[in-house]
Amino acid sequence: MKAKEQIAKIVVFIVLCLLAVLWVYPVFMILINSLKGDTFISTSTVFQLPNAKSFVGLFNYQNALSSKGFAAAFGYSLVITVTSDVLILVCTSMCAWYITRVHGILSKVCYALFVFSMVVPFQMLMFTLSSTADRLDLDTPFNICIIYLGFGAGLAVFMFTGFMKSIPLEIEEAAMIDGCNPIQTFFQIVLPILKPTLISVAILETMWLWNDYLLPYLVLDRKKYMTIPILIQYFRGSYGHVEMGPMMACIMMTVLPIIIMYICLQKYIIKGVIAGAVKG
């Protein structure tokens, strides 16, 4: 019995190792090809490691950064993600607090609409949303966060209200009796208690914002601003010769920061995912 279990464990371990290789390989393939010269990337050589002839060092990376607009795209993606994240966290947590603490028509209607908005697919509003954004001049990376606040509010409010129901009312009441107004109570008492949920929501929203393609593609003024996913789509989408080298470098530079972030914040990310799944 014991020996059998031991063997089973070893077999499972080997299978998992093989799967893990399969999981890492695609990224590894991009990495090795991003170090090759453009002419050396073809279907027959794509699985080979770079050799003395095809190795070009970081040339592709320099090329992508200087002439392919990667640096600007990275900057815009960063601006959009950070501003939208901050705005979503602050505004929706306040809104969620109101909804959980005040029982009235406004709260009920808002909550129902927020939950509904989580279900509706983006295709339903893509045309009208982009023309609304156009008319209100919300088509730059600096104020697209307002659109994101509106469109991303559903999930955030839902998760915040789920958690706030479990915060005891007494703490807030004590603060109010001691003379805090609601705004002080919220920022000094409620927000610190919310910290774990804030991190979870921030992570879920960041995963969405950083990778979102269609919304910025339709809303932003495309000639002026490109985010990373738009840039990569643009690489492939433009017909004719695709410059594989710089494209591989771009993909690598998109993936690398995410992987580094992930390894540093793994604990929080996994907690955030579980919280989001249980609530969602």
Partner 1 sequence: MEKAIRKYWPVFVLPTLAAFSVGFIYPFVQGLYLSFCRFTTIKKASFNGLDNYAYALADSEFWHSFWFTALFTVVSTVLINVIAFAIALALTNKIKGANIFRTVFFMPNLIGGIVLGYIWQILLNCVLSILEKPLLALNATYGFIGLTILMCWQQIGYMMIIYIAGLQSIPDDYIEAAKIDGATTGQILFRIKIPNVMPSITICTFLTITNGFKLFDQNLALTGGEPAHASEMLALNIYNTFYSRTGPQWKGYGQAKAVIFCIMVIIISMIQLRFTKSKEVQQ
Residue type for position 106:
L
How many whole angstroms separate alpha carbon 206 and alpha carbon 196? 15
Residue 40 CB, nearest approach to partner 1 (Å): 14
Q: Name residues whose C-beta falls within 8 Å of residue 222's C-beta, 6 or more positions apart in sequence.
A: 230
Counting contacts by CB under 8 A, is residue 97 touching partner 1? yes
Counting contacts by CB under 8 A, is residue 171 touching partner 1? no
Q: CB–CB of 186/167 below 8 Å?
A: no
How many whole angstroms separate alpha carbon 202 and alpha carbon 156? 9
Question: Per-residue x/- mask for partner 1, residues 176 to 195, rule CB under 8 A?
Answer: x----xxx--x---------
How does DSSP assign 90-101, residue by residue?
A: HHHHHHHHHHHH
Counting contacts by CB under 8 A, is residue 1 touching partner 1? no
Q: Name residues whose C-beta falls within 8 Å of residue 62's C-beta, 6 or more positions apart in sequence.
A: none
User: Which 198-237 residues touch partner 1, going by CB under 8 A?
Assistant: 207, 210-214, 228-229, 232-233, 236
Is the Cβ of residue 56 or residue 209 nearer to partner 1 in the bound state? 209
| Helices 105-119/70-101 angle, 10° precision | 140
* Count of residues that bind partner 1 according to CB under 8 A: 96
How does DSSP assign 26-87, residue by residue?
A: HHHHHHHHHTB-GGG-STTTTTSPP-TTTB-TTHHHHHHHHHS-HHHHHHHHHHHHHHHHHH
Residue 141 CB, nearest approach to partner 1 (Å): 16
Residue 58 CB, nearest approach to partner 1 (Å): 20
Among 114, 158, 163, 225, binds partner 1 (CB under 8 A): 114
User: Which 139-158 residues touch partner 1, going by CB under 8 A?
Assistant: 146-151, 153-154, 157
Q: Name residues whose C-beta falls within 8 Å of residue 176's C-beta, 6 or more positions apart in sequence.
A: 182, 185
Q: Name residues whose C-beta falls within 8 Å of residue 91's C-beta, 6 or more positions apart in sequence.
A: 149, 153
Q: Which stretch binds partner 1 (CB under 8 A): 53-61, 65-73, 104-112, 193-201?
A: 104-112
Is the Cβ of residue 85 or residue 212 nearer to partner 1 in the bound state? 212
Among 34, 60, 63, 92, binds partner 1 (CB under 8 A): 92
What's the number of CA atoms in the CB half-sphere (13 Å) around residue 56?
19
Residue 167 CB, nearest approach to partner 1 (Å): 13
Residue 46 CB, nearest approach to partner 1 (Å): 5
Is the Cβ of residue 76 or residue 97 nearer to partner 1 in the bound state? 97
122 secondary structure, DSSP code: G
Residue 49 CB, nearest approach to partner 1 (Å): 15
Among 55, 59, 98, 268, binds partner 1 (CB under 8 A): 98
Q: CB–CB of 118/155 below 8 Å?
A: yes
Is the Cβ of residue 210 or residue 225 nearer to partner 1 in the bound state? 210
Among 3, 52, 53, 121, binds partner 1 (CB under 8 A): 121
User: Which 241-280 residues touch partner 1, going by CB under 8 A?
Assistant: 244, 247, 251, 254-255, 258-259, 261-263, 266, 269-270, 273-274, 277-278, 280
